[in-house]
Amino acid sequence: MENLYYRERNLKEVETRIKEIIDYEGKKAFLLEENIFFPGGGGQISDSGYIIGVDKENNRIEIKLIDVLEDLKLGIVIFPEDTKNIDINQPVKCMLDWSRREDGMQQHTAQHILSGCFFKNFNRNTKGLHIGKDFSQLDIEGEFTDEMVQDIEDYANEIIQEGIDIKNYIMDDDLKDKNITRRPLPKSAEDIRVLEIPNLDINACCGVHCYNTRDLSMIKIKRYYKHKGATRFEYLAGKRAIEYVLNRERVFERVLNSFNCDENNIENAIDNLNKKKDELYEKNKYSSLKYIELLSNKIINASKVNEDNIYIVYKIFDDEKSWLVADIAKYISENYRAIVLFANKTNDFIDIKLQTSKDLTKEYNYINLGKDFKNNSKLLDAKGGGSAFMAQGIVSNQKNIDNFLDSIYHIYIEK
């Protein structure tokens, strides 16, 4: 006889008996006379729920299920959290975790609707499926444009609104060689279950599905991207889709309120904001460059040159913005014949930055800031390094930073 999870898919509980408690691969398990729990398959997770019965002292007990699987010889095997000394001579009530079952049916049925839409509209077949806890993933042959994806989402939701009865049955043997399914049937001597959505999709599947397309309420494609020569679609269906769309609608409403406009004008409002942002960025960039130029010139004017007419720029900053110190070092290196020796003291550490231009290192082979950093790092246990034209690092011990920079300063000022 067909299992109850196929025959009565919306059945939430059933009264039955435990035929036997067995040891299955080192775990205690139940075999039931009639089973409501789906063991998983076709990409769909197994059911969960409870078995309610009595122990041998006739006390009511409730046992949570931790797994369900199908054994070819034994049938459906139920794994309880604990047998709790249940009396198998008394009837038990099996109660399904309906939210888990309903969600599984909705996500799985949505896959068949989407697969059917892709195949019917674009002759693209399904390559893979994963029904996840938060969203599901469907891999479809080929690549797609935004317009194609919108067409599929609209078509899928039209199928839902049409309220098409979904057929789920064991295929007759005389139909197995007729090639009527979207994908070739598996080579098996066992019965082959088929899901059929008339005029849309027919395909082998051992999952548990909704009775009618309207049971899904909605399908929402969250996003899509290239994946291993195909396109991966992340989608939601049923209650997941409704919750997702409602949450987005609430966020969208807050955005509209913040812009003090309606949905017809929000794109223009965002465009205007982006233009203002770009204008502000250019103004800020210009001001920053002028400020960096001013500070750099001031530092250069206070610096000495060596015999090769190279400025040896030495400065210790006190808790300055790290980006500003880096930009000043870069500006001086790019606009002057200079070797920059900077340190920036913060509350936790000292940031060291040594920099010059590549041209100077080519012109004077004695310039090697990475080597100088390494040779003097023992003075303050500095961590870092670099190349001939740039070296940087971090120091936690602030005591010897002056000695560190002085040592490198004298290398170059005395050349």
> Does residue 29 carry a pLDDT above 80?
yes
Could you report the per-residue pLDDT of 74-112, keeping only the tens digit for each?
Answer: 999 999 999 989 999 999 999 999 999 999 999 999 999
The span from the CA of 323 to the CA of 320, in Å, is 9
Mean pLDDT, residues 171-187:
85
Torsion of CA 366, 368, 374, 376, to 10 degrees: 50
Burial pattern 329-338, b for ≥16 Cβ within 10 A else e, equals bbbbbeebbb
Domain boundaries, the chain: 2-96, 102-256, 286-414
Pairing label, strands 126-131, 27-32:
unpaired
Q: Is 184 helix (H, G, I), strand (E, B) or coil?
A: coil
pLDDT in tens, 231-247: 999 999 999 999 999 99
User: How far from 366 is each of 92, 330, 362, 411, CA to CA, in Å?
Assistant: 89, 21, 9, 9
The CATH number given to 102-256 is: 3.30.980.10
CATH of domain 286-414: 3.10.310.40
Kindly give, in sequence order, each residue whose CB lies less than 8 Å from that of residue 296, ignoring residues fewer than 6 positions away.
328, 331, 332, 335
Query: How many angstroms from the chain centroid is the CA of residue 125?
Result: 25
The string of pLDDT tens digits covering residues 10-19 is 999 999 999 9
Distance between CA atoms of 401 and 199, rounded to whole angstroms?
Answer: 79
Q: Which amino acid is at 342?
A: F
Q: Which of 105-114, 174-183, 272-281 has the lowest average pLDDT? A: 174-183
For residue 1, what pLDDT is reported? 47
380, pLDDT greater than 80: no
Torsion of the alpha carbons at 313, 316, 317 and 323, rounded to the nearest 10:
50
The CATH label, of 2.40.30.130, 3.40.50.1820, 2.30.42.10, 3.90.1200.10, for the domain at 2-96 is 2.40.30.130
Q: What is the mean pLDDT of residues 169-188?
A: 85
Rounded-to-integer distance, Cα 48 and Cα 66, Å: 7
Position 310: which residue type?
I
Could you tell me the pLDDT band of residue 2, with boundaries at 50, 70 and 90? low
Candidates 113, 107, 112; CA nearest to 157 is 113
For the segment 122-131, the average pLDDT, to the nearest whole number, is 96
